[in-house]
């Protein structure tokens, strides 16, 4: 199973507080998720502290990807445990993000609530083309970004690509559950929080281990560096 492409195309959100001086204080700690995709089952954990994120994805057979995001430096660091190396990639500039030409989805705030892991979550229905997504989100956890869509949402990003992005950003929702279905009603994706730990994480979790060596992507004339986020 290839993990990196899934991270780019799945509906995955990261919490961030480094989006402006007036941004509210967000949750610090770890949230663990279970995911089901067309590629099988996966587990993910987000460790959050200020504008720092550690995302660790496990897909079985010993495959683990660790990504460190620093919004102040606008950098993403990918850890390669087997090689004991790490690679640094810049986060896209929100001001230069292509808004795209996709039809804006229909967003419905249902007013329905469910308590998930002790957090009151509202159900939001998003319809876009043949896809219907149900999102249960809690307020007060911070602002979110989708790594497959460019940069962080909310303040600092002039035009969110989709209406559901704007809705989640304006309300400061953290998605505790996301379920998508296709036109036939078949479930195509599910992500649900299974565990939450509000303990303040150590700063060492957000930097490469001291015995890791920095890896520079080789560049080929006329092609530039390889981008692991591109499919």
pLDDT digits (tens, 9 = 90+) for 184-193: 999 998 999 9
Of residues 106 and 56, the one with the higher pLDDT is: 56
Residue 219 within a domain: no
Q: How confident is the model at residue 39 (pLDDT cuts 50, 70, 90)?
A: confident
Half-sphere exposure of 33 (CA within 13 A, CB side): 26
Residue 63 within a domain: yes
Pair 44, 11: CB distance under 8 Å: no
What pLDDT shows up at residue 174?
85
> Ramachandran region of residue 111, left (φ > 0), alpha (ψ -120 to 50) or beta?
left
- Report the percent of the chain where pLDDT is more than 90: 35
Domain count within the chain: 1
Residues 6+ away with beta carbon under 8 Å from 140: 24, 26, 27, 172, 174
What pLDDT shows up at residue 110?
93
pLDDT digits (tens, 9 = 90+) for 120-137: 999 999 888 888 989 999
Residue 156 within a domain: yes
Half-sphere exposure of 131 (CA within 13 A, CB side): 16
Pair 125, 132: CB distance under 8 Å: yes
CA proximity to 126, closest of 142, 118, 114, 137: 137
pLDDT digits (tens, 9 = 90+) for 12-24: 444 333 343 344 4
What pLDDT shows up at residue 82?
85
Residue 229 within a domain: no
> Within a 10 A sphere around the Cβ of 161, how many other Cβ atoms?
18
Residue 225 within a domain: no
Per the structure, the complete domain to which residue 84 belongs is given by: 3-214
Of residues 65 and 105, the one with the higher pLDDT is: 65
CATH at 174: 2.50.20.10
Residue 47 within a domain: yes
| Edge-first strand listing for the sheet containing 119-128 | 106-116, 119-128, 131-138, 174-181, 187-197, 29-37, 40-49, 52-58, 64-70, 75-80, 85-90, 213-214
Residue 127 within a domain: yes
d(CA 152, CA 26): 14
Residue 122 within a domain: yes
């Amino acid at each position: 199973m290839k993990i990196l492409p899934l991270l780019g195309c799945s509906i995955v959100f990261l919490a961030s507080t480094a989006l402006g001086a007036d941004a509210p204080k967000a949750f610090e700690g770890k949230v663990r998720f279970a995911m089901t995709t067309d590629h099988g089952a996966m587990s993910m954990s987000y460790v959050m502290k200020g504008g720092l994120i550690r995302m660790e994805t496990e897909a079985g057979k010993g495959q683990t990807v660790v990504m460190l995001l620093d919004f102040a430096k606008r950098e993403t660091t990918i850890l390669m445990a087997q090689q004991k190396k790490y690679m640094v990639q810049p986060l896209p500039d929100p001001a230069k993000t292509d808004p795209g030409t996709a039809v804006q989805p229909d967003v419905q705030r249902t007013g329905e609530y469910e308590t998930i892991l002790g957090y009151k979550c509202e159900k939001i229905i998003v319809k876009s083309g043949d896809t219907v997504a149900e999102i249960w989100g809690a307020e007060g956890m911070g602002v979110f970004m989708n790594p497959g869509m460019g940069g962080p949402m909310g303040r600092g990003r002039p035009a969110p690509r989709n209406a559901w992005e704007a809705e989640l950003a304006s309300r400061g929702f953290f998605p505790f559950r996301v379920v998508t279905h296709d036109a036939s009603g078949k479930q195509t994706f599910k992500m649900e929080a299974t565990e939450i730990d509000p303990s303040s994480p150590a700063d060492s979790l957000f930097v490469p281990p001291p015995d890791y060596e920095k890896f520079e992507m080789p560049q080929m004339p006329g092609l530039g560096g390889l981008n692991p986020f591109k499919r």
